[in-house]
Amino acid sequence: MALRYLTSAAAQQLDRDLMSVGGFSIDQLMELAGLSCAEAVYHTVPPTSSPRVLIACGPGNQGGDGLVAARHLQHFGYSPQVWYPKRNAAPLFEVGAVQSDQRLVTQLQNLGIEFVDNDAFDTKLETTDAVLDAIFGFSFRGEPREPFKSALEAIVSVQKRRSLPVLSVDIPSSWGVDSGNGESALSQSFMPDVLISLTAPKLGSRAFRGKHYLGGRFVDGPTAAKYDLNLPKYPGTSQIVDITGVEPSN
Amino acid sequence: MALRYLTSAAAQQLDRDLMSVGGFSIDQLMELAGLSCAEAVYHTVPPTSSPRVLIACGPGNQGGDGLVAARHLQHFGYSPQVWYPKRNAAPLFEVGAVQSDQRLVTQLQNLGIEFVDNDAFDTKLETTDAVLDAIFGFSFRGEPREPFKSALEAIVSVQKRRSLPVLSVDIPSSWGVDSGNGESALSQSFMPDVLISLTAPKLGSRAFRGKHYLGGRFVDGPTAAKYDLNLPKYPGTSQIVDITGVEPSN
């Protein structure tokens, strides 16, 4: 089998399709995306002795996936720590987006999940057992801005010194969604251990060589056909499927 | 261990708490509730040769749980058939409710899931491999109205003739949420094989003697403490936990 890898433009159009003709709300998609990410963490770092997972959340919807993942990880027996320095700046006319962000934070606060201060990321990074990179997603363009650039550089630095499982959502943050990891020094040095592609892999992730999961078990037949996704079969009731080593069809 | 069983009034208040101080949207809760139900079906009837599951959806939010379960079951490899004779009649001021209902139907239509005509329930019942009863939930009072009363009587009739796994959500439909199955002739004769209690079991289900799952892995500590839920530990990444034989604490 072979899987279709999507451009950034196609991924954004597919997302719009899911929320228009697909009938999905952002809350539903984010819930299942975050659950997929949490399951990938579970398969990477078993939840013995409540391992710490530092979840780096970006300013867009991918940050929301990270917040949902944090909630599920707490229920799975982990000790998530959430770094969320730039709250969702979506304009009010994006129905549900801002409300959703505030609600997700409330859910985590009610679980007693620790929010890491903006400047405490490096300190928490020293002692965490895993990192979930939910900083930049399939709409990312250009160069990473602060404080995310420094956070990614800090992850690279710790990866050089000790074993630290790093999982990225959709595209390793700083990589070009279409172009991969060739353009900036940061993208050349940042290599997560695990990638969780949501709905379908992105073109830029063809350069990724670690463990690769696909999540987002909600795509209907017409959408899969429109984008020629050729989706694999998911096992059992799992929200993720291992696609490590599966070749791109394009 | 022992589990707190909730009155209808407490269950309704807990639901309101989840959507106010808990920060949850109805879409999130319904997504995880429906996923719990689909996992319970998976553990009851394995998805070999695409078994048919007839999903009876009531007019309230529990019908929505059934619609979400239908979507996940299709992705799990089942052939769900949805009987949804009374579309959600929630007034417009219940934010999200009506919209949510329409979106859930669209999602199923895009998956090619069959909607069963109002008067075709009995026919489909003859050939289905399992029934998911998502008709009445924790707000149910009084006597079942048509067409739901006849549908439940038809299920009882088929159960007498052949093996037919029946799973109920939260409370077997027609049972009193507080009083159980002693009051009406229908409630005395309707006994599902599996019960999926969401968030916490309801008082009336103390009379239930089959396989009992708890779902709704999203309750935070303060809410569990307020209602003295004494929740069990869920296994792995599962959205349900087997509580068969666990005694009520009240």
Residue type at position A51? P
List binding-site positions of A for (6S)-NADPHX.
Answer: 61-65, 137-143, 170
Q: Other C-beta atoms within 10 Å of B129: how many? A: 16
Q: What are phi and psi of B228, to 5 degrees?
A: 55, 45
- Report the length, in residues, of chain B: 250
CB contact burial A87-119 (16+ within 10 A = b; e otherwise): ebebeeeeebbbbbbebbbbbbebbebbbbeee
Whether residue A201 has pLDDT greater than 80:
yes
pLDDT of A59-102, one tens digit each? 999 999 999 999 999 999 999 999 999 986 555 445 555 467 88
pLDDT (0 to 100) of residue B115: 98
Closest Cα in chain A, distance from residue B192 (Å) = 23
Q: Which two tokens stand for residue A233?
A: 């079969």
pLDDT (0 to 100) of residue A12: 97
pLDDT (0 to 100) of residue B3: 93
A236 CB neighbours in chain B (<8 A) are: 42, 76
Whether residue A35 has pLDDT greater than 80:
yes
Residue B217 Cα distances to A49, A97, A177, B35, B221, angstroms: 20, 23, 34, 10, 12
- Interface residue A218 vs chain B (CB under 8 A): yes
A20 CB neighbours in chain B (<8 A) are: none
- Does the annotation place B141 within a ligand binding site? yes
Q: What are phi and psi of A243, to 5 degrees?
A: -120, 20
Look at B237 and A38 and tell me if their CB atoms are within 8 Å.
yes
Q: Where are the beta strands (DSSP E) in chain B?
A: 2-3, 52-57, 79-83, 114-116, 130-134, 166-169, 194-198, 211-215, 240-242, 247-248
List binding-site positions of A for K(+).
Answer: 62, 133, 173
- Per the CB < 8 A criterion, the answer to whether A43 and A134 are in contact is no
- Interface residue B102 vs chain A (CB under 8 A): yes
What domains, with CATH codes, occur in chain A? 2-248 (3.40.50.10260)
Which of B28, B111, B217 is the closest to A220 by Cβ? B111
Alpha helices (H) in B162-220, listed in sequence order:
185-189
How deeply is B202 buried, as exposed, middle or buried, from its count of CB atoms within 10 A (0-12, 13-18, 19+)? buried
- Per the CB < 8 A criterion, the answer to whether A241 and A40 are in contact is no
Q: Which segments of chain B have a pLDDT < 70?
A: 88-99
pLDDT of A128-152, one tens digit each? 999 999 999 999 998 999 999 999 9
CB pairs under 8 A between A and B: 92
Closest of B47, B190, B213, B186 to residue B130, by C-alpha: B47
Which of B31, B237, B238 is the closest to A31 by Cβ? B31
Report the percent of chain A where pLDDT is more than 90: 88
**Assembly ipTM:** 0.95
Residue type at position B47? P
Which of B99, B217, B237 is the closest to A42 by Cβ? B237
Which of B31, B99, B110 is the closest to A220 by Cβ? B110
- Interface residue B224 vs chain A (CB under 8 A): no
**Owner of token pair 């990321």:** A121
Residues within 8 A of A (CB atoms), B 154-183 only:
none
A21 CB neighbours in chain B (<8 A) are: 106, 110
Element (H, E) at B111: none
The residue of chain A nearest to residue B101, with distances taken between CA atoms, is A23
pLDDT (0 to 100) of residue A100: 72
Look at A103 and B24 and tell me if their CB atoms are within 8 Å.
yes
Q: Where are the beta strands (DSSP E) in chain A?
A: 2-3, 52-57, 79-83, 114-116, 130-134, 166-169, 194-198, 211-215, 240-242, 247-248
pLDDT of A95-135, one tens digit each? 555 467 889 999 999 999 999 999 999 999 999 999 999 99
- Report the length, in residues, of chain A: 250
